[in-house]
Structure formats: structure tokens, C-alpha cells
Amino acid sequence: MKKILIVGSTGQIGSELGIKLRSIYGVDNVVCGYYKPPFPENFFELGPTVEIDATDAQQIADAVKTHKIDAIYNLAAILSATAEKNPKLGWDVGMNSLINCLDVAKEHECAVFTPSSIGAFGPTTPKDKTPQDTVQRPTTIYGITKVTGELISDYYFRRWGVDTRSVRFPGIISNLTMPGGGTTDYAVEIFYNAVKGENFVCPVKAGTYMDMMYMPDALDAAVQIMEADPSKLIHRNSFNIASMSFDPEMIYQAIKKHYPDFVMEYDVDPLKQAIADSWPNSLDDTCAREEWGWNPKYDLDKMTADMIEVLKHKIKKYG
Ligand code: AKB
């Protein structure tokens, strides 16, 4: 059975990926690396954990040796809007954690998954149905770390055979752990306001299209790419994946079908708007479909219904 280390397991993706991987590979075979509080409820009771500062290679190496790890999911990153306010931090966390994971993986023969993002594209990239292989000249520090991450991961594969694989995540919509500091966060926050009966103030303007994805599909992508038959992979770092693209008006209308009195207003955040404007409207995910069978399950309406159902219970229980 695979032994997996998740670096950055307490964030938006990590907190759900840990649950998913433990359900597939067994609780004791998935070690959740944590750095700083807050931790999800019962974090230390749910399975093996290890404290790891991802910018310290020795700590990653120690965890890999101690737990006999053979696959690392490296989720340490500072999201786009926060990174733009502190570019050095964005670079240090994004790149040092990746280089450390790659070096440890090279030495201990581990596979490595590191998410890339729609942020790896920039204003000169074709905007609609962005191809798999195309111009990548991002203008954000987050995007620069993501493109560099894709290139260095391919380099470690070509040069030393490290089994690196990755997908370009869109904005991820989830209901367990809030995202923090991303440009696409509004598409999560809007649901909490709707379910609580509060108005929502949207930080990006109508007509701003971005690719988005419901967490269950994002988790499937992270598992499937790592399980894919390597002989079928023409690409590695990183695959376009897509399931829905919408602008604020479309998600607002989808939520209004459930809450007809819900009100959304706009107060545009210039930083988030500029970042969103530099990203694609929608990605072409043909290569992921062809090379490893990517096939998402949720569209906007199906996700909206599920998000609302889950949040109704969560908000009733925890407020
Ligand atoms: C962000 O908005 O920074 C992230 C992303 C799209 O990578 N959610």
C-alpha cells in the first residue's frame, strides 16, 4: 500500500485531501503535515501527523524517512492576492517548499504532486478554451511560482526520473475549510452569505469569467493523476482541468434559484480584479481527458445545490 505525506494538510485543499486519501489508502498510510494553527477539528485524532515547515528540507526528509513515504502531496503555497501583497513570501513558500520536496523525492524515490493553477497563465495567453500548451507569461508572483514549479517539476522528471505530476487547479469551491487570500475566494464566500441570509459584496465585477471547480472533482483529479498509467502520460506538469466557468452574475443567479431574496452588490477590489483579468476565462482540458480519463461530475447547478445543503447543516450546527 502507498504511504503518503501531505505537506500543508490543514489548508482549504489539504484538509479534504487528507480525508479522501485516508479513505482510499487507509488511515495509517496518510501522514498529514501541519505547520501553524488553526487545525481542523480533531486533527490529531484522525490519523498520523507530523509538524513540518515546508521551507526546511531536513524536516521533510525526516518525515519521509520516519514514515517510509513513497508519495508526497505538496500543497504549501501562498494564494494569489496575498502573495501579491508580499511577493517575497509568495516566492519563498511556493518555490522553497517545492524544491525541498523534489530534492527529498529524488533521494528517497518518492512521487510528487504539486498543484499548479489557472494563475500560471497571463494576459497574453489565449483567453477562451485556453490550450494545454500555450503562452505562459503570468504577471502575478503567484503565477510566476506556478510556471516555475511546472518547469522545475518536469526538469526533475526528465533529468532524474522523479515521478512528478500535477494539475492546474481552477478556483476551488469547498465547504470544510475556507480558502484564504485567493482571487477566486468570492465563489466560496458567496455561499456562506446566502445560507446565513446576509447580502454579499462581490470583489470582482460582472463579466469576469474564471474557471471554477467543486472540491470533490478537484480531489478526484489529485488522486487520478497520481494513479494514472505513466505510459499514457504525454504531459506531466501540468494538466489543464476544467468543469465550469462562470462570472459573478451566473453564480448569483444559480444561488437565487434556492434563495430568491438573496442580494449581491459589487465593491470591486482593484488588486483581485487585475489578477482575475489577467487569467483565462476557461481552459481546454482535452489532454487530461485523453491521457488519464479526467471526467468531472459537477456543473454549476449541481454544485450549488450540494453546497447549500452542506452549509445549511454546518451553519445550523456551528453558526
Ligand atoms: C487563487 O485564487 O489564488 C487560487 C487559484 C485559482 O489558484 N484559488
The predicted pLDDT at position 150 comes to 98
- For the chain, the structural domain boundaries read 4-170+215-240, 171-212+244-282+299-318
pLDDT at 205 over 90: yes
The predicted pLDDT at position 198 comes to 97
Side-chain-side CA neighbours of residue 191 (13 Å)? 28
Task: Tell me the per-residue pLDDT of 266-286, one tens digit each, with 9 for 90 and over.
Answer: 999 999 999 999 999 999 999
The predicted pLDDT at position 211 comes to 98
- Distance, CA 271 to ligand 1 centroid (Å)? 13
The whole-model pTM stands at: 0.97
**Per-residue pLDDT band at 42 (split at 50, 70, 90):** confident
pLDDT at 197 over 80: yes
Mean pLDDT, range 158-176, rounded to an integer: 98
**Per-residue pLDDT band at 1 (split at 50, 70, 90):** confident
pLDDT at 38 over 80: no
Mean pLDDT, range 49-59, rounded to an integer: 95
Query: What is the CB < 6 Å shell around ligand 1?
Result: 79-80, 117-119, 142, 169, 171, 182-184
Residue nearest (by alpha carbon) to ligand 1 atom 1: 182
Residue nearest (by alpha carbon) to ligand 1 atom 4: 182
The predicted pLDDT at position 75 comes to 96
Residue 143's closest CA among 280, 48, 247, 316?
280
Is 171-212+244-282+299-318 in CATH node 3.10.350? no
pLDDT at 39 over 90: no
Q: What percentage of residues in the chain have a pLDDT greater than 70?
A: 100
The CATH number assigned to the domain with range 4-170+215-240 reads 3.40.50.720
- Distance, CA 26 to ligand 1 centroid (Å)? 30
- Which of ligand 1's atoms lies nearest the C-alpha of 172? 8
- Which of ligand 1's atoms lies nearest the C-alpha of 142? 3
Mean pLDDT, range 20-31, rounded to an integer: 97
- Distance, CA 232 to ligand 1 centroid (Å)? 28
The torsion angle over the Cα atoms of residues 222, 226, 228 and 234, rounded to 10 degrees, is 90
Mean pLDDT, range 183-204, rounded to an integer: 98
